[in-house]
Amino acid sequence: MKLLLLNKYDNQILRNIHEIYLSAFANSSFQIFRLEDFEDFFSMGAKIYTIYLNQDLIGYAVFLINGNVAEILSIGVKSNYQKQGYGKKLIYEFLKKFNTISKVNLEVSCKNFDAINFYLSMGFSKIGLRKNYYTFRKGDNKGKKIDALLLELNT
């Protein structure tokens, strides 16, 4: 296993990250990020961590840093590698490398119970709610709104 920070722009790696995003959120009604969004994340200075098994890119995490606070913009692991600790490794490696970070924030759909449980198991706390934050992009509820739960980790 190898964890790497994406230090220089690489369109193919960003394409692979987007494919992982699509795989990780294949059953989600909220797929909101396009390839261009991941390119924009990199361009605006977000830190993008990748995790490899052998030579296979299996996961990523995108963090935006503002002073000593980081926000997780997106994190994903290929579906067949989920629930094996790789997402936690990405977050822990980020916190180890950027050890001046004192808080990590994120928002997640109130209906994404797997993600909520993942973050709570890492010590994140519920700190708020954003009403009608996400819009269903597909399925029977397409166009309807759903709340986002705000989570925070004090490091």
**pLDDT tens per residue, range 45-65:** 999 999 999 999 999 999 999
Of 100, 108, 2, residue with least CA distance to 60: 2
Q: Where are the domains of the chain?
A: 2-154
Cα–Cα dist 87/27, whole Å: 18
Cα–Cα dist 132/147, whole Å: 5
- The pLDDT confidence band at residue 29, using thresholds 50, 70 and 90, is low
Phi first, then psi, for residue 134 (nearest 5°) are: -100, 150
Structure pTM? 0.92
pLDDT value of position 18: 96
| Percent of the chain that is helix, strand, coil (3-state, to 5) | 30, 40, 30
In the numeric block, which tokens belong to residue 57? 């890119």
CATH topology of domain 2-154: Aminopeptidase (3.40.630)
**pLDDT tens per residue, range 106-144:** 999 998 899 999 999 999 999 999 999 887 777 787 888
